[in-house]
Amino acid sequence: MKKVLFICHGNICRSPMAEYVMKDMVKKAGKGDEFFVASAAMHTDELGNPVYPPVRKLLNAAGIDCNGHAARLIRDSDYADFDLIIGMDEANIRDLYRKFHGDPEGKIHKLLEYCGLGKDVADPWYTRDFSKTWDEINAGCAVLLGDLTGK
């Protein structure tokens, strides 16, 4: 079982987008029983809230359901519980290193690293460009899934 946790600031835009996109890709690849995918917030601003409506709209347009999502905060136990902890931007990575006192097992990565890019996933909370974020997250998740399934 490969366990992947996506992280962003609030867990209402980017990391749930990545969680539900990745779950959909995994399911379509017939690998549903080989993966556990989740997402969490680095900060408390949006705890308990559902997926932000513009993100839900993009997910639903792609036939992906995100009902029942409630933003949850990262936990101390997440470092042991997951194989990969994937942040969206440099601030997430900095916060993750601080929370887990470094990254002794090399689990922390930034999503677009998988596309060979050093850049952040743009935060649509500020850019309001949800479709750019959608494209970046879909590209990152596709390469990540390929990496994890040896393709």
> What is d(CA 40, CA 87) in angstroms, rounded to the nearest whole number?
10
Q: How far is CA 92 from CA 53, 74, 88, 97, 123, in A?
A: 22, 11, 6, 9, 11
Minimum distance from residue 144 beta carbon to ligand 4NP (Å): 17
Minimum distance from residue 61 beta carbon to ligand 4NP (Å): 18
Which is the catalytic residue, given 24, 78, 120, 123?
Answer: 123
Cβ proximity to ligand 4NP, 9 vs 110, nearer residue: 9
Cβ proximity to ligand 4NP, 106 vs 126, nearer residue: 126
Which residues are CB-contacts of 95 (< 8 A; sequence separation ≥ 6)?
42, 43, 87
Minimum distance from residue 46 beta carbon to ligand 4NP (Å): 5
Separation of CA 25 from chain center: 13
Looking up tokens 């850049």 gives 119
Q: Is 8 a catalytic residue?
A: yes
Cβ proximity to ligand 4NP, 30 vs 68, nearer residue: 68
Catalytic residues: 8, 14, 123
